[in-house]
């Protein structure tokens, strides 16, 4: 990654703008797998422009035409830093009988995938670890024979493992009975997956802790991707840190499949009012009075950095839980938050599964530099601090391409100077 830096400022502390967000990365990546499994019967519209989606789309297109890297006897697929692609393609390769090696960046090789591999092996897949046990790269054999339809998987790990299994379930000869052990983290993402499967003609039954999907064909259908609520969260943060704000985000739905739509209710605690219209939503700052002091983000961990930074910048001594999966993301997001918040005097203290903000020493230097740790959400969660700091320097600003490529250009539309 290049050593680019970006200096951000916001002379006016008022924000009035209309921003058209890219399609949801989460929905897009699920839809691409459904399109591939259905041999094109499931059409995808309004695909995200995020790097991860572009990567996954390109890989699936290349596979369909037989174009892969031939650097070894076995074709090699390199997904780079795309975590969703790694999880979804692991299940896809395992059950579609493709002999291939999947790999990624050095950070990707540090992100555990053993739980998903174990589940797929239980089903009958032959998967080998090329380097370190429990981690990518992975090598798949072509002779998949389903051994059982019963699989147990822990509910408190990445919901992408569960989603990966559900996406391929209808294509299995025996289908799948997936038993979720313990509490389910990020439940809305699982519900999103099941709702999209329904759109593609795949039915399911969810009884207690078991999700059952029988073998069945996909129907001719079209899935239209909603704009990305994760991207919307940064505009909520900008509204909250502005003195006055009115921001319009077209085409977002009140009854969204995306778990991150919870940002609208979370940000009520920071005085932000969400109004849904026929064309999308409008968010305005109603008051400066802070309310909620406890936030459970178990169902929406991708909002954690945004909400924690807003709380810190407003001097709001809040407590957070549901952050368990943050340590195995693009970086250790808890450690990254602790490091960067310390630059404005904030302490994020870990107490078992609770995280407490201590804002007693909050201060805003004239200029600070934010490290991004090759994590797109670090860059975008901290960018709104330009409303409080005269010169906010962001390292590796290109990381936003992973989920929101037009982020910096959209900030210019809102009056930020770069």
For residues 234-243, average pLDDT = 97
For residues 392-408, average pLDDT = 96
Which pLDDT tens digit goes with each residue over 296-313? 998 898 999 999 999 999
How far is residue 60's CA from residue 48's CA, in Å, rounded to a whole number? 15
Q: What is the 3-state secondary structure (H, E, C) of the chain?
A: CCCCEEEEECCCCEEEEECCCCECHHHHHHHHHHHHHCCCCEEEECCCCCHHHHHHHHHHHHHHCCCCECCCCCCEEECCCCHHHHHHHHHHHHHCCCCEEEECCCCHHHCCCHHHHHHHHHHCCCEEECCCCCCCCEEECCCCCCCCCEEEEECCCCHHHHHHHHHHHCCCCCCEEEEEECCCCCHHHHHHHHHHHHHCCCCCEEECCEEEECCCCCCCEEEECCECHHHHHHHHHHHHHCCEEEEEEECCCCCCCCHHHHHHHHHHHHCEEEEEECCEEEEEECCCCCCCCEEECCCCHHHHHHHHHHHHHCCCCCEEECCHHHHHCCCCHHHHHHHHHHHHCCEEEEECCEEEEECCCCCCCCEEEECCCCCHHHHHHHHHHHHCCCEEEEECHHHHHHCCCCHHHHHHHCCCEC
For residues 54-77, average pLDDT = 81
Poorest-pLDDT segment among 26-35, 69-78, 88-97, 330-339? 69-78
Of the chain, the percentage scoring pLDDT greater than 70 comes to 97
In this predicted structure, what is the pLDDT of residue 66? Answer: 72
Q: Is the pLDDT of residue 157 over 80?
A: yes
In this predicted structure, what is the pLDDT of residue 278? Answer: 87
For residues 48-66, average pLDDT = 91
In this predicted structure, what is the pLDDT of residue 2? Answer: 45
How far is residue 283's CA from residue 245's CA, in Å, rounded to a whole number? 8
Main-chain phi, psi angles of 141, to 5 degrees = -95, 160
Mean pLDDT of the chain: 93
In this predicted structure, what is the pLDDT of residue 68? Answer: 59
Q: Is the pLDDT of residue 1 over 50?
A: no
In this predicted structure, what is the pLDDT of residue 241? Answer: 97
Could you tell me the pLDDT band of residue 287, with boundaries at 50, 70 and 90? confident
For residues 150-161, average pLDDT = 91
Q: Give the predicted TM-score (pTM) of the model.
A: 0.83
Which positions are annotated as active-site residues?
A: 302
In this predicted structure, what is the pLDDT of residue 178? Answer: 98
Q: Is the pLDDT of residue 348 over 70?
A: yes
Which pLDDT tens digit goes with each residue over 71-122? 557 899 999 999 899 999 999 999 998 899 999 999 899 999 999 999 999 9
In this predicted structure, what is the pLDDT of residue 5? Answer: 94
Of the chain, the percentage scoring pLDDT greater than 90 comes to 83
Poorest-pLDDT segment among 71-80, 151-160, 165-174? 71-80
In this predicted structure, what is the pLDDT of residue 186? Answer: 80
User: Nearest to residue 233, comparing CAs of 290, 309, 286, 287?
Assistant: 309
Which pLDDT tens digit goes with each residue over 95-109? 998 899 999 999 899
In this predicted structure, what is the pLDDT of residue 3? Answer: 65
Asked whether 44 and 225 are in contact (CB, 8 A), the reply is yes
**Token pair in block for residue 317:** 């001594």
Could you tell me the pLDDT band of residue 367, with boundaries at 50, 70 and 90? very high
In this predicted structure, what is the pLDDT of residue 299? Answer: 87
Which pLDDT tens digit goes with each residue over 309-323? 999 999 999 999 988
Could you tell me the pLDDT band of residue 30, with boundaries at 50, 70 and 90? very high
Q: Is the pLDDT of residue 338 over 70?
A: yes
In this predicted structure, what is the pLDDT of residue 217? Answer: 97
In this predicted structure, what is the pLDDT of residue 73? Answer: 79
Q: Which domains does the chain have, with CATH numbers?
A: 5-23+226-413 (3.65.10.10), 25-224 (3.65.10.10)
Could you tell me the pLDDT band of residue 292, with boundaries at 50, 70 and 90? confident
Task: Give the residue, 325 or 93, on which the prediction is more confident.
Answer: 93
């Amino acid at each position: 990654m290049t050593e680019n830096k970006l200096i951000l400022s916001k002379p006016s502390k008022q924000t009035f703008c209309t921003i058209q967000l890219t399609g949801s990365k989460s929905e897009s990546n699920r839809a691409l797998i459904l399109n591939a499994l259905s041999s094109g019967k499931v059409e995808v519209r309004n695909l995200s422009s995020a790097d991860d989606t572009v990567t996954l789309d390109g890989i699936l297109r290349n596979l369909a035409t037989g174009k892969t890297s031939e650097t070894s006897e076995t074709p090699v697929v390199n997904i780079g830093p795309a975590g969703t692609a790694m999880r979804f393609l692991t299940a896809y390769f395992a059950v579609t009988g493709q002999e291939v090696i999947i790999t990624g960046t050095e950070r990707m090789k540090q992100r555990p995938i053993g739980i998903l591999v174990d589940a797929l092996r239980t089903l009958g897949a032959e998967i080998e670890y090329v380097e370190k046990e429990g981690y990518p790269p992975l090598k798949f054999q072509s002779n998949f024979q389903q051994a059982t339809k019963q699989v147990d998987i822990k509910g408190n790990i990445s919901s992408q493992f569960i989603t990966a299994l559900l996406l391929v379930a209808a294509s299995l000869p025996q289908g799948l009975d997936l038993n979720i052990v313990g509490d389910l983290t990020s439940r809305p993402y699982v519900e999103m997956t099941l709702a999209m499967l329904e759109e593609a003609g795949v039915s399911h039954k969810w009884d207690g802790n078991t999700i059952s999907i029988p073998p069945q064909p996909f129907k001719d259908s079209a899935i239209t991707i909603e704009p990305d609520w994760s991207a919307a969260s940064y505009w909520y943060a900008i509204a909250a840190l502005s003195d006055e704000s009115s921001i319009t985000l077209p085409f977002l739905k009140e009854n969204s499949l995306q778990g991150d739509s919870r940002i609208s209710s979370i940000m009520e605690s920071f005085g932000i009012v969400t109004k849904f219209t026929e064309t999308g939503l409008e968010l305005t700052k109603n008051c400066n009075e802070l309310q909620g002091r406890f936030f459970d983000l178990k169902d929406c961990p991708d909002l954690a950095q945004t909400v924690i930074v807003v709380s810190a910048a407003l001097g709001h001594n809040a407590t957070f839980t549901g952050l368990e999966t943050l340590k195995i993301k693009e970086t250790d997001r808890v450690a990254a938050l602790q490091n960067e918040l310390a630059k404005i005097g904030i302490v994020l203290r870990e107490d078992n599964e609770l995280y407490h903000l201590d804002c007693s020493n909050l201060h805003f230097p004239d200029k600070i530099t934010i490290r991004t740790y090759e994590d797109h959400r670090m860059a975008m969660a901290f960018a709104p601090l330009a409303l409080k700091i005269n010169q906010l320097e962001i390292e590796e600003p290109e990381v936003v391409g992973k989920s929101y490529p037009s982020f910096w250009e959209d900030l210019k539309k809102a009056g930020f100077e770069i």
